[in-house]
Every structure is written in C-alpha cells, then in structure tokens.
Structure 1
Amino acid sequence: MADTALNLLVEELRQPDGRRLWIVDENIPPQLLPPQPNTQVIGNRFDLIRAMRQQGWNAELSDFDLSQWPASSLEKLIYRVSKEKAVVHHLINEAARVLRPDGELILIGDKGEGIKTYARKAQQRLGGSKEEQKQGSVWRVTVSLGEADSALLDDQDYPLLRDFQPADAELYLTKPGLFGWNKIDRGSAFLVENLAAMTGQALPLEGRILDLGCGFGYLALNACATSAALTCTDNNAAALIACRANLNARQFTQAEVIASDAGDSLEGTFDIILCNPPFHAGFGVEGDLTDRFLRQARRLLDSNGTACFVVNQHIPLERKARGLFARIHCHADNGHFKLVQLKEPVNKPQ
C-alpha cells in the first residue's frame, strides 16, 4: 500500500466525526494508528482483526457483512478500495443503505486500482455530491448520500454462496471474496492426483489431517475421508464460510474449521498436512507468506507425519524448508507447479 494512501487514510481517521465504520482488508497494516473514538472496524482478515483488537480497536472479523447496521445508522463509512471489484461494488451498495441522509462514503485508492471509476459509480449510487482530493496518483473521494439510486451496482451477489460444478467434478459452494473462487486451482488438483504416492495411503485419507490455508476446502473435500479427524484453517472470512458450508454438505462429521494466520492459533499435531500456500497479499506479492506456512507446518506436524505442499515452480520452497525439516523431497514437477514432501520437523518450538 502506497505511503500516500496511508497518509490520506490516517488524516481521515483522525477527524473528530460521529459514528463511523472503517472497512479494512489485507491492504491495511495493523499498526496504522491508535484506536480512534466512535470508530468501529470490520475486516475479512483474521490476522489483521486480531492485531487491531489487541491494540484496543472495536474490530470484528466479517466477510464485509454490514447487515447488523440498521438503515441510516452511520454518519461515515471509510474504505480503502479492495482488489476485487465485487467487494467494492457490494460495499458501495451497502453504503447507500447504512448511511444517514447527507452521510459520507470516503473512498481512497490509486488511479491504477480503479478509484476514479469507483468514485463515479459511488456518486451515481448514492445520489449526492462528490469531492475529490488528489496526491500524485492517489485519490481521496468523498461522496455524500442524497437521493440514492435504486439500481444496485453489480456485486455478483457478493454475500451469497453459490454452486460451482466444473465438468466431470463434484459440486462445490463458493463465493466472491475468495482467490480463484470460480475455478479449480491447478496446483491443488496436481497435489490431489499425487497424494496417495506422497503419503503412502490410498485416498481418501484417514487420521489427523490439517488443510492449512483451506480456501473453500478443495483439498480436504477431495483427499480426506468424511470420518477423518480433519481441521481446516484459513485467514480469510469468506474462505471460512465457504469451507464450513462444503464440509457440512458433504457430511464431514469430525471436521472443524478454525480461523488462524497460517495456522498459528492451532493446537496439537497432525499426521498429514496439506498446503497450497498463497503468495499474493493485497495488491502485491508478500515474500514471507510461504515462510510463515512452513514454520507453522513444522510446529504442527507430528514427528512421524508428512506435510505435502504444492507451490508455483518459482517458489524456493526446498531452500526455505532447510533447518525446519530433516527430510525434504521434491516429489513431482509439471513445469508449472512442484510438489514437495516434508518430514521429520526439527528444532520445534516448545
């Protein structure tokens, strides 16, 4: 996130306004500024919301669900635009409902992130005045609520789970707000195809299994027995909702879904860990995400267990895993993705 956008956001949050809501996602650093009065926070990232709560913010983990706020209940909604258009449209639509007459929607973003288009759409939807402040390529736009347009922006029915059934495959429940929500990840499919050989077990897998960074649950749903002692975890609120729904629909009776940052809030150990770690964060690439997943895999893997990772070919997973696992083996490489088997965690934290 550009320093200019951060500065504009901090300026806005320090204004002595009435009741307001600040929408946060992965583009917001947790140590941005101390808690501000009359400000409630919602965000879809577990790690960010946990950090803000620890600082004293009134913060709630949510898949951008504003249904708890009655109509015309907020004076201001502050939002640094997200990466996904459906999310932005959804929140502009909701602003028209939850803002009081003459209440304000504050949008902050870079020109390359579509801020100008979002500002135009927000004014059309809210029906009030628009003020713009520009610093370099970053804009802060204030749109007031007037006579709101009844025509909703196309948010792809953002709050709703929907069926997704690829050709010759099972039905899944998924939604916008998840990375790759309407497709099967090729890396995950490659991992499932090779899991029997990697684990030495025929599918479906039994035992204590962890899907680390579960998304909507593709790995767990395709690799695990419904009776397995299965734990699925993710940092993203939409992923947690979709994964719970899919596990319930498939009758995974022993499964649990837990919010965590790369598994850091989990306890116990697992016989098998399945992981397709993300490496994108917000508008950019975050290099230490893979490291965080590896460190937690070392902590959570049983001494006799197997961790099965799939990563893009350019991720140096084997090098990153040195010093964390005694046995590191590249099981397969298809030219796009590689499968890495990790065993015998070493120097485990107590």
Structure 2
Amino acid sequence: MLKFSVVIPLYNKEKYLYKTIESVLKQTYADFELIIIDDGSTDNSLKIANSFNDDRIKVYKQANAGASAARNFGIKKAEGEFIAFIDGDDIWYENFLETIISLMNKYPNLKVYGTAIGLNDYEKQIESKRRNMEEKDFIIENYFYYKIKKDIYLTASSAVVKKEVFYDIGYFQEGLRNWEDLDMWARITLKYDVAFSTKICAIYQQNIIGSASRYNGKINADFFDYPEKYILKYNVQGEKLYYMLEYIAMWKIYYARIIHSSTNNRKESLEILKKYKYTRIFKNDLIKTYIYIISPRIMRNCVKRICKSLYSIRSR
C-alpha cells in the first residue's frame, strides 16, 4: 500500500502549476501517487498537468464544482494510507514528505501531521512569523490556543491526514466556496491531536489584494455558523472551549468588516459585533471595528494624528 496520496485541486492555475507539480515530484521521499483533479479549468492548466511523464501522476477532470468537491473526489480516488493536499499555486520544499515521515516515526499513534508554512504574496515574499522560531517537533492538543497565541496553524498545503479520519469526521463541506479549509481543520483538531514541526517546508501563495471583493454573503455566513455548531457536537469544554470561542470571535469581527466594506450594511455588521462583546483577546480589534463601521472618518483622523505624531517625533 502506498504511504501517501497527494491531491491537487486544480482550477485556472496555469501561471504557477508547473512549479507546484515539480515541487511534488522532487520530494526526497518518493513513495506517493499524485492525483490532480481539474475542476473545469478554462485556461491551460489541464494541458500542463498532462504534460508530465511520470507514472505516479493521475489526472482527472470534472465539471466546475469548487475546491472542496475536487478534494473530496481526490480522497475517494486515493490509494495511499495518508492524504496530503497541495493547492495548484503552492510549493513544497523537497523535504516536506521526509519531514512528515520523521514526525510519524516520532509520534506513530497520531493521525494528523503538519509543518510550518511560509507566505508569499505572488510577486513579493512575505516573511513568515515563524522564521525566527526554534525548529522543534511537538504535539498540538489545543489547536485554537496555538492558532491565536503562537500563530501556528494548519493549511491544506502543509498538512497530512490519515485517510480514515475523513471517514470519521466527514469530507470537505462542498457548500462552502470560501474558507472551506478553516472548517475542515476546526473539525479535525477538535477530535484529533496534531504532530507539528516548526520547520517551514511549504510556501503558501497568498493573494492579499482583492480578497474582500470575493465576498459572497450566503456562503460566508454558512461558514461562520459552522464552528459554533461544533461546540455542541464535539462537547468542547474547558480551556479548549475558551480559545475556540475567542477563535470564533476573531473570525466574526473579520466577517463584520467584510460585510461592511463589501455591502455597506452597517446594521448587519453591528448586530454581529454585539454577539461577540465577550472577547478578551480581541477586544481592541472589536473596538476598532466598531469605530470603523460607525464612523470611518473618525478612524481616518485617528490614523492621520498618529502618523503626524510619529513624524513629529522623528523630526526632532
């Protein structure tokens, strides 16, 4: 039985896909199959995927149904014991799978493994907040604590999951067209501990510009409702509950800003914020968002005064 099945959900990534596939094929650990699911691409992505002459590659095509549907298709086709995902514009360092194998040897009883990931804004490298972190391996028992306090998190392109986990907690939510990864990692980490390496073994292509413009009210609202349902489903308690509630508040505050900037719906944004006044960790973000929504002019004037003050200090 193969150790790994690597799944690439693919939609219009012709600019980056060749390097992505190449980074997978160059892995120092070679016992894997590479499953590429073209999700109805309209560019040359499928042609690029088929251009590689490697027996480990299997290419499938489906009508456009979203990244979640493509990943689920890949999981069902996978023959490997573990599933690894990588998006069609991300990059693995050559030692990614080797690092995962090292974690497996160190923590053989776990079913979820991950490494740190660097961020790259397509044209400009962004320094990862974990670059100065000491390289070490450890078990994440409270994922939401590490996400909030240590900026350590899982992404689809830097995690490996035993296939049976998906039979247990379910597949990717196909009704979500945005943030489906966050939903999956919330479900997984509420039930499973994660063996994690702070070594950066992958690069995530983060397109910051225009991210708010992809807002879809109904779909995003669905996503933000899911985490609260999981509290009851998985009987979350104690410190894990505290940090999960803070995690939800963090995303709800962000969601309120998206609604306001995308639809200018002040009433809906403020109603969302009122429900999450309990937050302690993100209290300042909550206050700033209130001000931003109620009076953007006040926020702009505050920023101008701060900048003017800083300029005055530097000029002395």
Relative to the length of structure 2, the TM-score reads 0.31
Relative to the length of structure 1, the TM-score reads 0.28
Higher strand fraction (1 or 2):
1
